[in-house]
Structure 1
Amino acid sequence: MNNLFILLLLPLIGAILLAFVKSNTTAKWGSLVLSIVQLLLTVPFVYEFVHDASIQFTQSFDWISALGVSFQIGVDGISLPLVLLTNGLIPLIVLSTFGKSFKGNFYALISFMQAGLLLVFMALDAFSFYVGWEAALIPIYFICGIWGSGDRARINMKFFVYTFFGSLLMLIAIIYLYQQTPNKDFLWSSFAALDLADNTQRWIFWAFFIAFAIKIPIFPFHTWQPDTYTHAPSAGTMLLAGIMLKMGTYGLIRWLIPIAPFGVQTYGCLALILCIIGVVYASIIAFQQRDIKRVIAYSSIAHVGLIAAGIFAWNQEGLQGAMMQMVNHGISVVGLFFILDCIETRSGTRNISDLGGFADKMPKLSVFFLIILMGAIGLPLTNGFIGEFLLLKGVYSIGIWYAAFAGLTLIFGAVYMLRLYQKTMLGPIDARYFELTDIKGYELIILVIVSCLVIYLGVFPNSLLKLSEASVAQLLQQVKF
């Protein structure tokens, strides 16, 4: 029988080993092999997963018996896609660093963060969930703080304060819920079964919502994100945008809404409006950016705002769209940030006004850029199309005006993303860039894989939708407004 604990243990062991590796070459190859093995170990779980609503491959043992703390993990159709996303993107993120000079401590932090992320998506008890939540924050703090650029100390501190404040609110809510359980335990099932008073559910909603909204981020809790994404090292940005923000959207589905349904019924409309405001606001701000990384950073706020809006719509289409788009966004944003890193590495700048005409010198990069960009803006037959269609359909069922404003992300997104492509790839090229070389080696491998995923999930979306369909349907049946 497959053992989920192995998926948590392997990156932890890898982190310990990599921390003592001083050679750049040994560290990056060791980390890559480790991440590929982790991905291969994930495949049997997907292959043997039964497409129903049950929680599968469960494991549990007592952790702190005196406090009723147990360690329980398992996956269902809601968590398995995110486990697959995490273990699928880490090898690409590690491979993207092959042109850099990082030692073992950098890759050790990535492995440790991977373990924390997986624990968040697998945890069936709130104590383990919170441990994973905090464990994923620590390594990314050091990755951004040590290897970031610019005023990274101040920016990283802002990021840490935001996320730690949200975590503290969530911890208070978890401790309160623990005190209300009949058996004094932290099990998700025990929390979801509580019959909480309406006033209690209201403050529980805000305690969890603020924690998740900061991580996603949802307007107006987003202000840490653009600077952090911009000044983090490229691999750190990919970890944040590709995987870490999904902790927040997953938390909405798994923890917030089932535990505080009346709170969601009371404030869900406000949360939905905040999500849509974020979509429009971030899209407008993206037009004005001159730094190519900041364009994608604000684009990410708009896209995840739509995902969160689909979750608060709380219907089959909205949740299925959110599940699919969480995976799609992770794939596309990692590809986009890597392309921008290739451009910056070769040109020495991220300023849009200094770029242009790169398609002449880098035709391969320009083709892959266009494919991944089309997936990001939701062109039919690319991965983003079905997810965004389902999200808008879900939001439309709540109200046509919600859908109308949420749909602006498609229009605005197409404009600023195509503008980004035009300003970097098309037009005349400056004489100082005549010696630019096209992508090759590991760069080509990464962009081929990402582009194939963009097209595959666009043509065969059911391969992903079938994983979550039964679990989403059961959750909707259990939690009704």
Structure 2
Amino acid sequence: MILTALLLLWPALAALLVLLIKGPGAKKVAFVAALAEFALALVATSYFNIENGGIQLALSIPWVESAGIRFSIGMDGISLLMVLLTTFLVPLIVLSSFKHDYENPNAFYALILFMQTGLIGVFMALDAFLFYFFWEVALIPIYFIAALWGGENRIKVTFKFFVYTIFGSLFMLAAFVYLYLQTPGTHSSDLFAFYQLQLDASTQGWIFWFLFIAFAIKMPVFPFHTWQPDTYTESPTQATMLLSGIMLKMGIYGVLRWLLPVVPYGVSEWAEFVLIISIIGIVYASIIAIRQRDLKRLIAYSSIAHVGLIAAGIFTLNEQGLQGGVIQMLSHGINVVGLFFIIDIIFSRTKTREITSLGGITQNAKTLSIFFMILLLGSIALPLTNGFVGEFLLLSGVFQYNGWFGAVAGLTIILGAVYMLRMFQGVMFGPKSPVTEAFTDLTFNEKAVLIPLVIMVFWIGLFPGTFLSISEPAVGQLLSIINR
């Protein structure tokens, strides 16, 4: 019952309620609703046995009974961490928008809550067609948020994003339909029925690519990334936060839940190739990030580099790589949301994101400088911050797989430090520019968004066992299924 409330009764109903509220009251109701959703997630966590690697709190009722399709949801440790990340970030994303006066705010905030419903559904679904349904539910709201409240080129950019993601979704649907038809008897789209299929290596090979393309586009990894920088840049900041902080985790989660255990022979055949393109993506995106002068585009390319490392670690198929991928999903979500919010703060005061037009901000905004530096250091994996834990495990996994791969993938730390510290120096230090002369420090609401994020940077960095212990049993069970 708790999962039903977490998935449908609260966020979906709250979205409908917000849609009926006119004026600025919509944002306040949306914020309270998002906080209540986080509280529900904490209640669900209290019922969760972290020593059990299997699915817990499950609910399964007929949906399309004649076809063997069920409304089946549940959580293991990996799902729980993703649900906690989603419900933790959404209220902060809503709060971060309070300084903006969006046209039709009720529709804007209702779409955010509808998207939250889709995201949580993806992380809970145990039925292939239910997973696909929520996958698409999460896409529709973000498309309208980006298209209606984005920048000047929003229509062209969001159309490209929509075409990319729909293209990938069709590949995933085709793979699911085929797998469904291979299940014995009256057929079933249950996740565990897919796990039990005995498919030959050739069949698993093409199914691997159908599923991987869908998930790789959403993540995105090189060379499926070309929609991402423009979409992140043209979307309103809150949409960018949703896309980077949570939505790209759908693709990584899909790999863990639906790709690796369903087609293990296909994975073993193509894992090295995926590692190679992921590592190429790390270096490629990092070099392009160094050359960026727009703050949003720089963080967008840095995100591609981080996700490339996560993908590389996951496809090593060892415990360090998988655990690193899970913990880095958390860390990346926290850091990238914080960085995009700081960019939004800077843009709201200066009306520019060009690094060369900024400078000297730290002279007027010492508190902002501190928060900015903490999130930046987390992003470049400084020891004792959240980014270090995930990147250490990921690189350990890649080195264990292949030493040369690990050496090249390790460039992400060096190159990341180059583009992030250069960005910080250009924006925050040096003489003031005309647009930063009257720059003001953080407001109360801005601190209220950044403080929880900074707390998480240090919590994960100093006490990683809190989160690793949740995912470890589920990762162990995932490895046992892959290696069966």
Both proteins in one fold, TM over 0.5: yes
Task: Write the distance in 2 (CA, Å) between the matches of 1:430 and 1:274.
Answer: 41
Please tell me the residue identity of whatever aligns with 1:244: M
Deviation per CA, 1:183-241, whole angstroms, max 9, x where unpaired?
Answer: 41110000011001211101100000000000000100000000000010000000000
Partner of 1:211: 214
RMSD value, Cα: 0.9
Pairing 1:410-449 to 2, within 5 Å after superposition:
410-449=413-452
Matched, 1:13 2:17: no
SS in 1 for 2:77: coil
SS in 2 for 1:245: helix
Pairing 1:269-348 to 2, within 5 Å after superposition:
269-348=272-351
Matched, 1:129 2:127: no
Matched, 1:406 2:409: yes
Matched, 1:92 2:92: yes
SS in 1 for 2:129: helix
**Structure 1 position 433, deviation (Å):** 2.5
Deviation per CA, 1:16-68, whole angstroms, max 9, x where unpaired?
Answer: 111122212x1110000000000011112222311221210000100111111
Return the match for 2:241 from 238, 242, 247: 238
Confirm or deny: 8 A CA contact 2:358 2:435 kept in the other structure.
no
Task: Write the distance in 2 (CA, Å) between the matches of 1:278 and 1:140.
Answer: 25
Partner of 2:34: 35
Pairing 1:81-160 to 2, within 5 Å after superposition:
81-102=81-102, 103-160=105-162
Deviation per CA, 1:119-159, whole angstroms, max 9, x where unpaired?
Answer: 10000110110001000000000000000002111110000
Task: Write the distance in 1 (CA, Å) between the matches of 2:318 and 2:45.
Answer: 25
Please tell me the residue identity of whatever aligns with 1:193: Q
Please tell me the residue identity of whatever aligns with 1:53: G
Distance 1:432 1:197, change over 3 A: closer
SS in 1 for 2:443: coil
Return the match for 2:376 from 351, 370, 373: 373
Task: Write the distance in 1 (CA, Å) between the matches of 2:433 and 2:181.
Answer: 66
Return the match for 2:353 from 346, 350, 364: 350
Pairing 1:157-236 to 2, within 5 Å after superposition:
157-182=159-184, 183-236=186-239
Task: Write the distance in 2 (CA, Å) between the matches of 1:65 and 1:172.
Answer: 21
Task: Write the distance in 1 (CA, Å) between the matches of 2:40 and 2:311.
Answer: 30
**Structure 1 position 432, deviation (Å):** 4.0
Task: Write the distance in 1 (CA, Å) between the matches of 2:215 and 2:312.
Answer: 13
Unmatched segments (≥5 aa) in structure 2? none
Task: Write the distance in 2 (CA, Å) between the matches of 1:353 and 1:150.
Answer: 22
Task: Write the distance in 2 (CA, Å) between the matches of 1:305 and 1:34.
Answer: 34
Confirm or deny: 8 A CA contact 2:294 2:353 kept in the other structure.
yes
Confirm or deny: 8 A CA contact 2:2 2:40 kept in the other structure.
no
SS in 2 for 1:86: helix
Q: What fraction of aligned residue pairs are identical, expressed as a percent?
A: 53
**Structure 1 position 328, deviation (Å):** 0.4
Task: Write the distance in 2 (CA, Å) between the matches of 1:207 and 1:435.
Answer: 53
Task: Write the distance in 2 (CA, Å) between the matches of 1:60 and 1:190.
Answer: 14
**Structure 1 position 243, deviation (Å):** 0.1
Matched, 1:384 2:384: no
Task: Write the distance in 2 (CA, Å) between the matches of 1:21 and 1:346.
Answer: 29
Task: Write the distance in 2 (CA, Å) between the matches of 1:161 and 1:271.
Answer: 23
**Structure 1 position 431, deviation (Å):** 3.7
Please tell me the residue identity of whatever aligns with 1:23: G
SS in 1 for 2:384: coil
Instruction: Give me the TM-score of the superposition, normalised by structure 2.
Output: 0.98
Please tell me the residue identity of whatever aligns with 1:114: Q
Matched, 1:473 2:472: no
Task: Write the distance in 2 (CA, Å) between the matches of 1:135 and 1:451.
Answer: 31
Partner of 1:397: 400
Deviation per CA, 1:254-311, whole angstroms, max 9, x where unpaired?
Answer: 0011111111111111011111111010000001111000000000000011001111
Please tell me the residue identity of whatever aligns with 1:61: I
Task: Write the distance in 2 (CA, Å) between the matches of 1:433 and 1:399.
Answer: 48
**Structure 1 position 4, deviation (Å):** 0.2
Task: Write the distance in 2 (CA, Å) between the matches of 1:96 and 1:474.
Answer: 38
SS in 2 for 1:221: coil
Instruction: Give me the TM-score of the superposition, normalised by structure 1.
Output: 0.98
Task: Write the distance in 2 (CA, Å) between the matches of 1:345 and 1:480.
Answer: 51
- The alignment covers a number of residue pairs equal to 479
Unmatched segments (≥5 aa) in structure 1? none
Please tell me the residue identity of whatever aligns with 1:419: R
Task: Write the distance in 1 (CA, Å) between the matches of 2:150 and 2:354.
Answer: 18
Please tell me the residue identity of whatever aligns with 1:436: F
SS in 1 for 2:381: coil
SS in 1 for 2:261: helix
Task: Write the distance in 2 (CA, Å) between the matches of 1:264 and 1:456.
Answer: 34
Confirm or deny: 8 A CA contact 1:21 1:105 kept in the other structure.
no
